[in-house]
Amino acid sequence: MITFNYETSFELKDENLLEKWIENVVSDQEFSIGEINYIFCDDAYLHKLNVQFLNHDTLTDIISFDNTLGKQVSGDIFISVERVVENAKDFKVSFDEELHRVMIHGVLHYMGYKDKTDDEKQQMRTAEDKAILVLSNW
């Protein structure tokens, strides 16, 4: 089950489509959906979590707490809508493209993708791009 929660006035345009998209990406990697909770918030909300749980005193666009068991993907994904807006400008992409990239980024982490080394970052980016291409063709 995928749920979308809002701690800001922001709301997704098409929750059903995005839920099907995420389920498709997960099943293509031969995983299944357990419980994924998306929480959309602002910078202050996410900064507080970053300090409290990760001891990082910085702004970030996403924090994910992984509860995946085996091949069943589960966790809580917190996304700062404010950071996504800023990152979209910085990367010269649409807000929706950046939002979708961040949304699937958290799920890909749950399926074992990493992004610490250059090689891992490239593999993550390739998987993100593939997922976004699927969504754009729907």
Residues comprising the binding site for Zn(2+)?
A: 105, 109, 115
Burial class for 23, CB neighbours closer than 10 Å (0-12, 13-18, 19+): middle
Residue ranges at the known binding site: 105, 109, 115
